[in-house]
Amino acid sequence: MTFNRNACQRPSCPSAMIGLFYLAVVFFLLFFGLGQKSLSGSEDRWAEIARNMLSHNDWFHPTINGEIYFDKPLLSYWLIGFFAIVTQALNEFTVRLPGAVAGLLALFCSYKIAQDLFDRRTAWLCACLIITSYGFLFWTHTASAEISNMALITAAVAWFVQRRERTDFASYLVFYVICAVGSQLKGLTAFVVPLLIIAPWLLRQRRWKKHLNFYHLAALLVALLFFFLPYLGASLQPLPPGVEAQHNQLSGLDLLIRENIVRFFNPFDHVDPFYSYLYEVPRIVLPWAFLLVAALLYYVPRYAKASQSERWLLDALALVFLFFTLSGSRRWYYILPIMPFCMMLIGAYLANAEAHRWRRPAIFATLAVLSVGAVLLISMPIVVRTYVKSTSLPTEFWMGSAVTLLAAALLAAAALGKRTTILQRLTGLDDTPSGQFLSILLLVSALEMAVVFGLVLPGIDSYRQIRPFAVSLNQQLQTNEKVAFYKHPNTTLVFYLNPKEAIAIVETRQQLSDSGNPRVIVSEDADEEALFQEFPELRSTAPLLRTRRIAEKMFSDKSNLVAYRLP
C-alpha cells in the first residue's frame, strides 16, 4: 500500500500541537521515576558490570564480583558506562537510561514503518498503542538489553522499508551494521528477526534476485567484521588484576554460540511450554490484547484480498512468532521484538475496519481491562495492607489512588456528558463514536501506566531492603574492614557496597582464612543456621545488621540478609 498524502488532511492525523502533547506524554512515561526504584531482578548484573568497567577502565571484560561474565555481549554495558560518564554518576537512573532512550528509537522507527506501509493515521495509532502498553514501559524501565534489542530490530526493518528498492552498497551496509549493533546488545536475534520480517517481501515476485549482487555481499562482510571487533578486543586485552576467567572456561564467542544457537536447539534453561507465547504476547501488548485478537480475526480470513502491506505484516508476524515458538528456550521477553508489529496490525485494524463485528466487543473488553486496573490502583492502599506488617504505607500509594480516582471521575464525566472533543484533540482521533471511545481508552491507559511506573512501583520499592541494608552496612564498616559472603553472593549488594576489590565467597573457616580473614560476613536468612554451625561463636553474637521482614509475600527470601561481625 502506498502512502496517501490526502490522508494527512483528515482530522485523525496529528497536528503540531497534538504532536507536542504526545512527545510530552512520551517523555513523562519513559523518564518519570526512572531512577527511583532500587535495582531488582537481573538489573544488578548490568549495573555491576558497568561499575567494574569504569573502575578497572577495562571495557572488554564484563566482570561481576571478580569473575568474567560473558553471557551477554558488551554493547549494553558500554551504553550504561557512556551515560555514567556523561552524567558523572552511576546510579539507578543511568543504569536504566539506555533502555528509555532505546524506547524513543523504537517509537520513531515503528511510526516510520507504519507510515511507509500504510499511512500517517495508522502510524499515529501504532505509536499511541506502543507508548501505552505494559510490555514496552516495563522494559524501558528495566536495566537490560531487551528493549534495546527490540529498538535495533525495528530500526533495521525501518531502514529496509525506506530503501527496499535500492541496491547500493551504503543501503546494504547500514542495514547490516544496525543488525550487528543489535547483536552486540543481546545476541543473534538482531540478525535473524529483521531477515524474517523482510523475507515475505523479498520472496514475493522474486524480488530477492535483484539483491544478489557484489555490493550486498561486501556490505555483509564489512558488518560481520564490525560485529566481531569487540570479541577481538577482549582476546587481545589481558584480564584486570584480581579478575578470574569465567568458571565454565567459555570465551565470549563460545557463549555467543551457547546462548543463541545451542539454546535454540538444545535448551539448558528457560524452558517454558511450547504454547507459552500464546499468552505471553497478549501480556506484552496489554491492555490492547483483545484488539490484537480482533485484528487477527479480521485480517486472517481476508488474507487473499488484503493489500500488499497487510499481507507482508501478517506474514512477518507469523514467521517471528513461529521462530520464537520453535526455539527450545522460551521466556516472555524473548518475543518482545514482535510487539511493534502487533501494534501496527492493531493500528491498521482500527483505521480500516470500522464495521467489523468483533471491533466493538474488543473495545468494550479493553475498557473492562482498564476498569479493573483502575479499581486496583484506587484500592492499592487496601490491597497492600494485606501483604505487609507495617502500619504505614508509602505516600506514593495514596497519591496513585487519588490521581486515578480523580482522573477516572473527570474522564467519566466527559464521556457521560458527551464532551469528548478535547479528548479527541489530545489524541488526534477522528470525530466518530469509535474515535471518541478510543481516545478515552488511550488516555486512561496512559494515565494508569503513569501511575504504575511513576508511583506504585517506586512505592513498592520502599519495602525492598537491600539498598538501605548496603547504606547502613557501609556506615558501620570500620576502616579497611573487609566483607565476605556466606555461600551465596548478592550482586545487588556488591553494586551498592561499591568495593575496590571482589568480595570473597566462603563456606568454611579455612576459606575465610584464605581470603584474608574478612571480619564481616553477610548471609541470607535461609543459610543462617548453617552459618552458625560453621562459625558457632556467632550464635551468641548480636547481628551487626539485619533486613526488616515487612513484605515477605512480595519478595523472595534472597532479599532477607543478615550481617555478623566476627568476634
Per-residue pLDDT, 81: 96
Helix (H), strand (E) at residue 522: strand 520-524
Q: In this predicted model, what pLDDT tens digit does every residue of 172-224 receive, in sequence order?
A: 999 999 999 999 998 899 999 999 999 999 998 888 998 999 999 999 999 99
Better pLDDT: 327 or 515 = 327
Q: Is the pLDDT of residue 365 over 70?
A: yes
Residue 54 C-beta-side C-alpha neighbours within 13 Å: 24
Per-residue pLDDT, 3: 39
Cell of 300: 486472517
Window from 2-16, 49-63, 67-81, 412-426 with minimum mean pLDDT:
2-16
Q: Is the pLDDT of residue 264 over 90?
A: no
Confidence band of 248 (pLDDT split at 50, 70, 90): low
Average pLDDT over residues 468-488: 91
pTM for this prediction: 0.91
Calculate the CA 110 to chain-centre distance. Answer: 16
3-state secondary structure 210-266: HHCCHHHHHHHHHHHHHHHHHHHHHHHCCCCCCCECCCCCCCHHHHHHHHHHHHHHC
Per-residue pLDDT, 44: 94
Confidence band of 302 (pLDDT split at 50, 70, 90): very high
Q: Does residue 163 contact residue 170 with C-beta atoms inside 8 Å?
A: no
Q: In this predicted model, what pLDDT tens digit does every residue of 87-116 receive, in sequence order?
A: 999 999 999 999 999 999 999 999 999 999
Nearest to 405 by CA among 378, 444, 372, 440: 378
Q: Is the pLDDT of residue 415 over 60?
A: yes
Q: Which long-range contacts (CB under 8 A, 24 or more apart) does 231-234 make?
A: 231/256, 233/59, 233/60, 234/60, 234/61, 234/70, 234/74
Amino acid found at 212: L
Sign, CA dihedral 525-143-196-209, equals negative
How far apart, in whole angstroms, are the C-alpha atoms of residue 280 and residue 94? 29
Amino acid found at 142: T
Q: In this predicted model, what pLDDT tens digit does every residue of 36-91 receive, in sequence order?
A: 999 988 999 999 999 999 998 999 999 999 888 888 889 999 999 999 999 999 99
Per-residue pLDDT, 410: 79
Alpha helices by DSSP H, 243-393: 252-257, 263-265, 277-285, 289-299, 308-326, 339-352, 359-378, 380-385
Average per-residue pLDDT for the chain? 87
Average pLDDT over residues 285-289: 96
Confidence band of 390 (pLDDT split at 50, 70, 90): low
What is the number of helices (H) and of strands (E) in the chain? 26, 7
Q: Is the pLDDT of residue 7 over 50?
A: no
* CB atoms near residue 302 (< 10 Å): 15
Helix (H), strand (E) at residue 20: helix 16-31
| Burial (0-12, 13-18, 19+ Cβ within 10 Å), 533 | exposed
Sign, CA dihedral 506-512-515-519, equals positive
Q: Is the pLDDT of residue 153 over 80?
A: yes
How far apart, in whole angstroms, are the C-alpha atoms of residue 237 and residue 230? 11
Q: Is 564 left (phi over 0), alpha (psi -120 to 50) or beta?
A: beta
Report how far apart, in Å, the C-alpha atoms of 302 and of each of 202, 295, 306, 356 are.
22, 11, 6, 12
